[in-house]
């Protein structure tokens, strides 16, 4: 590709500046936001790509915030910064599959290009930062040309003397490896950039169907559609993906004291409900803090780790290099054998059945925490499904079901046959006869206290609600739930799934 042609193409005329730039040549797509320094940065523009599509764009959408936002740039400072430079353009080059072109372009433009360009524009207008850095680069290149310095050496020299080049390198490495880049531009603007993994942190079995609207969604971050993110529930918790010391070290100096305290006390055995009481903050504020840690990939959303939970080796676990995993495991959990533990977790079972005695259970909880953090192990959630005997079906007042039952009885042993009656069907529009039949079943099998609890839990016995949700919403303990399962073991099927 001709360098001169590319330089001309990537330096658009002023009317195409201060808006989205997209240009495709063969299998390469160039994405940027050319900045004209001859226009006032406080003006509003329209976001127009080269195909002529337009949408409203405000400077607030650029999404960068210095620690202390100075006053807007005055016209005098604007004119002073225009001694030489009238335009600059940071361009990202993509080569995505055709079907992912639009989504990748939008993602990198919204989350990286626009924010980074806004910060550079501010610094250029404030103190001529971009021009100063470009002068350094051009001087080094000219000197290298005169001396015949090899290109690789020139590149190293540029990275050594130019903070702009260092930031671009760090940003490129982070974005290309799908991590976050934390930059301090010109020692003035603290900027974090990433392309968020939409939906990647969604907890399994987090609530579904008509009940999802009851659950508290996380607050929108950076203008993204909230339903692409995990739903936060009080019975969830956070699992830090790095050591707390590392998370705290990377926090800005003006970080929220409550956020700092949360990172310091966070343990995956305590729910968000318990944590917000410990921190003496509202549950809504706890959700905001959790959303912040999830968005910046400092934590993942999980169900609380408990000795009665079922864990199994993840089907997506990367176990290609067992010796390396074993060495890292021993650094964190020195008293347990990694291959043996994986073997024990190859078949799902409650954690307390793996731990040999209560005195070792804390070690096993730490081991499970480590394995869940590394995506080597996943939790299997328990769901409940109500199964009623054939004899109860005619009393539900459904003649169609009665006829169907008679047909089945004529071809099978009536004493052994059962039919699954979805609790969702009964709970959706329960009639008087339906509830009478259900109450009769409930009180024939258990004491009144257990029978009443069983009736309360019937609407959740449709295979869609994990027991953690059931216990939280109905204020039921694990012991109470186990009593219901004990008395009605012939009528409740337990299913374990991711």
CA distance 302 to 298: 13
CA distance 268 to 305: 6
For position 202, what pLDDT does the model report? 46
DSSP 365: H
Q: Name which of 163, 172, 170 is nearest 127 in CA terms.
A: 163
Q: What is the pLDDT of residues 336-360, one digit of tens each?
A: 999 999 999 999 889 999 987 888 8
pLDDT-derived band at 201 (thresholds 50, 70, 90) equals very low
What average pLDDT does the chain have?
Answer: 80
Could you tell me the two tokens for 242?
A: 């790095």
> Helices 478-487 and 448-457 meet at what angle, rounded to 10?
100
Report, in angstroms and rounded to the nearest whole number, the Rg of the chain calculated over CA atoms.
Answer: 30
**Is the separation of the CB atoms in 421 and 491 below 8 Å?**
no
Q: Name which of 352, 308, 273 is nearest 481 in CA terms.
A: 308
Q: Name which of 111, 114, 120, 104 is nearest 47 in CA terms.
A: 114
Q: What is the pLDDT of residues 108-167, one digit of tens each?
A: 999 999 999 999 999 999 999 999 999 999 999 999 989 888 989 999 999 999 999 999
* Count of CB atoms situated within 10 Å of the CB of 69: 10
CA torsion sign for 124, 126, 132, 133 is negative
For position 358, what pLDDT does the model report? 81
How much is the average pLDDT of 19-25? 93
The phi and psi torsions of 30 (rounded to 5 degrees) equal -100, 125
* Count of CB atoms situated within 10 Å of the CB of 274: 16
Name 199's Cβ contacts closer than 8 Å, sequence gap at least 6. 228, 229, 230
The phi and psi torsions of 465 (rounded to 5 degrees) equal -120, 120
Q: What is the pLDDT of residues 454-493, one digit of tens each?
A: 999 999 999 999 999 999 999 999 999 999 999 999 889 9
CA torsion sign for 101, 106, 108, 109 is positive
pLDDT-derived band at 104 (thresholds 50, 70, 90) equals very high
**Is the separation of the CB atoms in 33 and 19 below 8 Å?**
yes
For position 390, what pLDDT does the model report? 61
How much is the average pLDDT of 67-77? 47
Q: Which is higher by pLDDT, 203 or 53? A: 203
Q: What is the pLDDT of residues 225-278, one digit of tens each?
A: 344 556 889 999 999 999 999 999 888 778 899 999 999 999 999 999 999 999
* Alpha helices, H only, 148-231: 151-161, 163-176
Name 1's Cβ contacts closer than 8 Å, sequence gap at least 6. 25
Beta bridge partner(s), residue 23:
30
CA torsion sign for 265, 267, 269, 270 is positive
pLDDT-derived band at 203 (thresholds 50, 70, 90) equals low
**Is the separation of the CB atoms in 498 and 313 below 8 Å?**
no
Could you tell me the two tokens for 191?
A: 């900027």
Q: Name which of 282, 323, 275 is nearest 299 in CA terms.
A: 275
**Is the separation of the CB atoms in 179 and 297 below 8 Å?**
yes
* Alpha helices, H only, 52-186: 75-80, 101-108, 114-127, 129-147, 151-161, 163-176
CA distance 451 to 455: 6
């Amino acid at each position: 590709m001709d360098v001169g042609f590319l330089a001309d193409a990537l330096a658009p005329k002023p009317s195409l500046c201060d808006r989205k730039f997209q240009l495709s040549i063969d299998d390469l797509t160039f994405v940027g936001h050319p900045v004209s320094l001859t226009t006032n940065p406080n003006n509003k523009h329209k976001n127009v790509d080269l195909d002529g599509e337009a949408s409203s764009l405000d400077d607030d959408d650029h999404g960068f915030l210095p620690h202390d936002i100075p006053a807007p740039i005055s016209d005098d400072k604007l004119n002073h910064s225009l001694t030489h430079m009238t335009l600059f353009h940071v361009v990202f080059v993509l080569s995505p599959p055709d079907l992912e072109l639009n989504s990748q372009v939008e993602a990198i433009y919204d989350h990286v290009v626009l924010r980074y360009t806004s910060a550079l524009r501010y610094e250029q207008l404030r103190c001529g930062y971009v021009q100063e850095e470009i002068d350094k680069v051009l001087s080094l290149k000219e000197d290298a040309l005169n001396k015949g310095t090899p290109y690789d050496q020139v590149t190293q020299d540029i990275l050594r003397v130019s903070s702009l080049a260092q930031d671009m390198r760090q940003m490129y490495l982070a974005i290309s490896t799908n991590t976050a880049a934390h930059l301090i531009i010109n020692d003035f603007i603290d900027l974090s950039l990433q392309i968020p993994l939409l939906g990647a942190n969604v907890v399994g079995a987090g609530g579904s169907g008509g009940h999802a609207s009851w659950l508290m969604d996380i607050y929108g971050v950076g203008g993204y559609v909230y339903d692409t993110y995990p739903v936060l529930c009080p019975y969830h918790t956070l699992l830090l993906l790095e050591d707390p010391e590392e998370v705290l070290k990377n926090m800005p100096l003006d970080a929220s004291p409550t956020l700092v305290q949360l990172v310091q006390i966070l343990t995956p055995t305590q729910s968000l409900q318990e944590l917000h009481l410990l921190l003496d903050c509202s549950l809504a504020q706890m959700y905001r803090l959790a959303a912040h840690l999830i968005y910046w990939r400092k934590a993942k959303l999980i169900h609380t780790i408990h000795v009665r939970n079922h864990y199994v080796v993840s089907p997506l676990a990367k176990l290609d290099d067992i010796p390396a995993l074993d060495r890292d495991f021993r650094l964190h959990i020195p008293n347990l054998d990694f291959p043996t533990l994986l073997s024990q977790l190859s078949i799902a079972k409650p954690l307390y059945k793996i731990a040999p005695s209560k005195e070792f259970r804390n070690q096993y909880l730490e081991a499970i925490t480590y394995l869940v953090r590394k995506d080597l192990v996943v939790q299997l959630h328990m769901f409940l499904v109500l199964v009623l005997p054939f004899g109860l079906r005619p009393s539900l007042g459904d003649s169609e079901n009665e006829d169907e039952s008679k047909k089945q009885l004529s071809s099978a042993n009536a004493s052994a046959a059962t039919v699954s009656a979805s609790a969702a069907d009964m709970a959706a529009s329960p009639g008087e006869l339906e509830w009478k039949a259900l109450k009769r079943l409930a009180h024939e099998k258990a004491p009144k206290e257990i029978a009443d609890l069983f009736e309360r839990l019937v609407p959740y016995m449709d295979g869609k609600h994990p027991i953690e949700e059931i216990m939280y919403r109905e204020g039921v303990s694990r012991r109470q739930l186990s009593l219901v399962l004990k008395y009605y073991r012939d009528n409740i099927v337990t299913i374990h799934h991711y």
